[in-house]
Chains A and B, each alone.
Chain A
């Protein structure tokens, strides 16, 4: 078995009740697993929430993570969303320094290129709303960094399986 660690996206449907998130998070901290990002919200069924998390693990750790999560009484269903059969997206709000004209132009050019939106404008900054998969977000952030990112808020990844044809 190869022992390489890589990022995995896991989604689970859980009972929508107090303490469930704490059970999931506690499992990761208690057993020394990593959480890179975590998203939780209600589904169409108000009794059920969807948790999506990204973890860095090797294959045997991943097997334990999945088994341990399935063992939690409140976890109804768990799926690995890592491969091409799932759509993954995250959103970020990025506040970029924009003092000089050439900076402002460059930012707007990137916004167009990455199909983002400027959602707030000030004399010295833009706030950009960006969505995309992890690679796109990384690329955008790397290009904005030299201009000057003042603040950033990221949602973490959410994911859905593609419907079978």
Chain B
């Protein structure tokens, strides 16, 4: 069958069940767009390529599918880099298709030419420049295979303009097998046995779950392990939602802005069962002191995550879901009374920590950002898909929104990309048109991709945006307050747009609350409205996120208010 490069691309997108693409056209991808127009794949036109990648990322995080985006060569391609790096840090499966100048011009410094494969080499799981039309189908199939298998990640495919319109004989390929890429899903039996033995005998066990639990859909066996063996659970930022926030065993998030009880439990447990985490510095604090009383079982599909930052007793390389299911089988049953008496002291200790320091904030007649999040959590019963930007808004959401379901918290964890939340919300809304999707933003980060308002309005994606407006780049200001003697270097934003008018200018709706008693009615009204709504809350300008562990300190040494 004679097919052009662009047609082969469409064929493979369909084979891979891609029903939506986020993108932005340009000269080098004009043939691809011409073909896309004739297919039944939906295209969401963004207003900036960074938005396209974040939207595809949000779509992938909400749905568990591979997100796909298109961008043109040169500046189109370079604009995708932040989005790709964001997805790479959080192991999100994406296929990013960029156009390239025609083959004969590559290396010529041609108009809108950039070596995007070179630029993205360190921030993609893998990437390709297609140099021969005969390789097109295989490369695209490999791209999807690599993106979604093993530890997922973004894959970029750079397609020169001439190849999109070159014809070749095309027969659909079967399953892809790459000899040098064989991810290992099955955990080692011996290691699982050792892990089970440690769990059976542990007196003060703690589960630390991360993003890998969500990616491998391991929440069910994880919850089973916790409940049957009465093990308290904390998660990293990326793990929020993989264990129900309403469960009594839930401790809240760990780390720099983790809860007192979670950090204390990590410091005092005798066994840590770490699943799908990579022991990032924001989680461990000073690594020498991290879980220093504990033996550590570390389950992860990526061998490089194991023993990278923290020494472990039992490494288990394998898929988190398969590993936990097998571990549960090995552990078998234990009588509820037996386990109750075994855990009594430990759970009492955890409860004492819970009572000793609750997540509270002072009420002083101004709108407290924490109160906005608490009210949002209550009004949505924890059922909305929540995206965040990065900084204080992100940490307050992690602390005060009660996540009961996986894939409902979408945030840039590893890279910490401001401007991520809003386009990611657009992507999540595309995946779930009937769900309530809310982006929690600060006045700083919302302005980093505010242009996507047009995308949301144009495509009838009724994303709700909650702006916690403190006229500061709040998290950096907090560090300046605490560690730089209150020298607020360039963190005050004196010119912040009128967000209500800005919403209206885009054809959306805008609401504003300036007093605490307006918080609930504003949220009620805004969440019930059709279409895109910005809800702006003029919050306490110098509110801090607590607890806080200063960078490099042990996580048990927290600043508490």
Binding site for B on A (CB under 8 A): 15, 18-19, 22-23, 26-27, 30, 60, 63-64, 67-68, 70-71, 73-77
Contacts and interface: CB of A to CB of B under 8 A. Distances in A.
Interface string B306-322: 01100000000000000
A23 B308 contact: no
Interface in B204-260: none
A76 B122 contact: no
B157 to A, nearest CB: 13
A23 B121 contact: yes
Nearest to A23: B121
Contacts of B126: 73
A119 B386 CA distance: 72
Contacts of B121: 19, 22-23, 26
Contact of A60 (B181, B304, B307): B307
Contact of B118 (A22, A27, A77): A22
B360 interface: no
Nearest to B181: A73
Contacts of B336: none
B352 to A, nearest CB: 37
Interface residues of B, number: 17
Contact of B303 (A22, A27, A67, A76): A67
Given A19-B121, A26-B122, A76-B180, 16 more contacts: A15-B180, A19-B117, A19-B118, A23-B121, A26-B121, A60-B307, A64-B307, A64-B308, A67-B303, A67-B304, A68-B304, A71-B302, A73-B125, A73-B126, A73-B181, A74-B180
B104 interface: no
Contact of B304 (A64, A74, A76, A77): A64
A35 to B, nearest CB: 16
A135 to B, nearest CB: 32
6 contacts: A19-B121, A60-B307, A64-B307, A73-B146, A76-B180, A77-B180
B178 interface: yes
Interface string B163-189: 000000000000000111100000000
A63 B317 CA distance: 15
A13 to B, nearest CB: 9
Interface of B: 117-118, 121-122, 125-126, 129, 146, 178-181, 302-304, 307-308
A73 B307 contact: no
A19 B139 CA distance: 15
Contacts of B146: 73
A161 to B, nearest CB: 19
B179 A76 contact: yes
A67 B308 CA distance: 10
A18 B146 CA distance: 19
Given A19-B117, A26-B122, A73 B178 contact: yes
Nearest to A60: B307
A104 to B, nearest CB: 48
Contacts of B118: 19, 22
A154 to B, nearest CB: 28
Contact of B307 (A63, A68, A75, A77): A63
Contacts of B304: 64, 67-68, 71
A71 B118 CA distance: 18
A101 B242 CA distance: 81
B457 to A, nearest CB: 40
A77 B129 CA distance: 23
Nearest to A1: B311
Nearest to A31: B122
Contacts of B180: 15, 73-77
B138 to A, nearest CB: 13
A77 B181 CA distance: 10
A110 B531 CA distance: 86
A22 B119 CA distance: 11
